[in-house]
Amino acid sequence: MKPINITEAETEIMEILWKQKTAFMKDILEILPEPKPAATTVATLLKRLQNKDLVGYKTFGNSREYFPKVEKKQYFNHEMSGVINRFFNNSAGQFASYFTANAKLSQKELEELRDIIDQQIKN
């Protein structure tokens, strides 16, 4: 899977589909926060997500029930791998160094990260 750029609005639609598993456009419109976009805007976003092969649909009469074609975790892992590859020379170590130096983590958060890493080493 190549890197897929999705807009903030497309991400909002994906978040709804990941949470709901399936949704008709009326359901998506109902869930979206105020100010709600026009139905035509949501239709355009869904079409873009279909073109990016992230969303599929089943037809029921004149209605379409949309569903995510990729799981959130799979999408996130793919995108994070792309970031590490593009910006950190495909080095998780360089990413971790940058993250811990620039994320303004507290002592407690750094210790929690160390515990997570130690647990992964044990496994």
Q: Which residues are paired to 63 by β-bridges?
A: 60
CATH architecture of 8-68: Orthogonal Bundle (1.10)
The region, left, alpha or beta by phi > 0 then psi within -120 to 50, assigned to residue 122 is alpha
pLDDT of residue 70 exceeding 90, the answer is yes
**Per-residue confidence (pLDDT) for residue 79, from 0 to 100:** 84
- Asked if residues 110 and 100 have their Cβ atoms less than 8 Å apart, the reply is yes
Sorted by where each begins, the domain ranges of the chain are: 8-68, 91-123
Alpha helices in 24-106 (DSSP H): 25-31, 39-51, 72-87, 92-102
Cα distance between residue 89 and residue 110, in whole Å: 24
pLDDT tens by residue, 3-55: 678 899 999 999 999 999 999 999 999 999 999 999 999 999 999 999 999 99
Average pLDDT of the residues in 95-113:
87
pTM assigned to the model: 0.76
* The pLDDT of residue 37: 94
